[in-house]
Structure 1
Amino acid sequence: MQSFQNHFLIAMPSLDDPLFKRSVAYICEHNDEGAMGIVINHPLDVKVADLLQQLQIEYNTESPAATAHVCAGGPVQHDRGFVLHTAKEGYASSMRLNDSLMVTTSKDILFDLTTAQAPEKFILALGYAGWTAGQLEQEIADNAWLIIPADSDIIFDLTHAEKWQSATAKIGIKPWQLTNEAGHA
């Protein structure tokens, strides 16, 4: 089985589910049991400061991180936070995804997000996308997703609105060239 861990799933135009329409999902884990990813380009009408305030966590109102939008990471456990961030050790529940990227699910990272102790770059998402064994592979075969290697610049350095087009451009495709038809040789 080919693992799609550390890859992006790019939603094809035929994927019109509002949770995934024009989405880019970073695949954190993919194995024989299924896959787990975080949608990185669907901002909610909630800012990091709003979430920290709701959790009664003190934050620096002057920090640019306080004004960042929280993303809808996916439909599974949408009340649980996932912080996709540049590598920084020391949190209670982190998983290293590659040499420069980690995901943390423990509350301790939230105390750092608007301080000098924060990871260099991060996205805070509520929920994740999950696939059972074989489900993701079938969706790919059904032409719901394109797959490309993940790119930290797309994750952290673009606006949410730019990510889908930029991800498709990485493989030399313009959005108007995408079709809803699947071809199999």
Structure 2
Amino acid sequence: MALTHGLRNQFLLSMPHLEDPNFAQTLTYICDHSEYGAMGLIINRSAGMPIQELLSHLDLKVDVPLRCQQPVYTGGPVHEDRGFVLHGTEPATGGWLCSHEITPDISLTTSLDILEAIARGEGPADYLVALGYAGWGPGQLEAEFSENLWLSCPSNFDIMFRMPPEDRLQAAASVLGINLSLLTAHAGHA
């Protein structure tokens, strides 16, 4: 199956039969997709610690503890020691040292200055922090689509930032009008 358009700014929904423990039952936001491969962040799998704990490990004093109680996410199996902040792009914030605009509304930042701002309560209003990322080499994601391992749909800001993580996968499936638990592992052939 050839993807006629890139998957940047799309959600990837794992199919129920995807057994890879890194990706089973995941919703991934695709940050970049080109002939060179794809990169995304899993946005519904907690790493088991709140952001406040991560900031503490980085010796950052948290001035607004209530804003730092959301979970850190396991963004994927690649470079799990690196942090990524997916956030809304707001004119009042920004200017981060290592920031990449994905859309006019969503950016990805990898520099420590955004975490320092979050600790001070001055970061973006909508954000999630992930350790690691999901990466695919050239043609790999396309091959996985042909194996019926993924569905894709347009991303949704509210699902990504304002919905409980455990509800995000089915909410994205609902955008497509489907219930993932009713899907089968086999594609039909006429």
Normalising TM by the smaller chain, what interval?
over 0.9
Q: How far does the alpha carbon of each residue in 1:52-110 deviate from its partner, in whole angstroms, 9 at most, with x for none?
A: 111111112x4332111100000000000000000042100000011110000011101
What TM-score, normalized to structure 2? 0.93
- Alignment partner of 1:56 is 2:80: no
Question: Is residue 47–residue 69 contact of structure 1 (8 Å, CA) maintained in 2?
Answer: yes
Structure 1 gap segments, 5+ residues each: none
Work out the CA distance in 2 between the residues paired with 1:65 and 1:75.
27
User: Which residue of structure 1 aligns with residue 162 of structure 2?
Assistant: 157
- Alignment partner of 1:148 is 2:150: no
For the residue of structure 1 that corresponds to 2:119, the secondary structure is: coil
- Alignment partner of 1:10 is 2:13: yes
What TM-score, normalized to structure 1? 0.95
Work out the CA distance in 2 between the residues paired with 1:4 and 1:91.
25
Q: How much identity, in percent, do the aligned residues show? A: 39
- Alignment partner of 1:82 is 2:87: no
For the residue of structure 2 that corresponds to 1:108, the secondary structure is: helix
- Alignment partner of 1:176 is 2:181: yes
- The aligned length equals 184
User: Which residue of structure 1 aligns with residue 112 of structure 2?
Assistant: 107
How far did residue 155 of structure 1 move?
Answer: 0.4
How far did residue 184 of structure 1 move?
Answer: 5.0
Q: How far does the alpha carbon of each residue in 1:116-162 deviate from its partner, in whole angstroms, 9 at most, with x for none?
A: 42101100000000000000001011110000011111100111100
For the residue of structure 1 that corresponds to 2:62, the secondary structure is: coil
How far did residue 175 of structure 1 move?
Answer: 2.0
How far did residue 45 of structure 1 move?
Answer: 1.0
Work out the CA distance in 2 between the residues paired with 1:105 and 1:184.
44
- Alignment partner of 1:39 is 2:42: yes
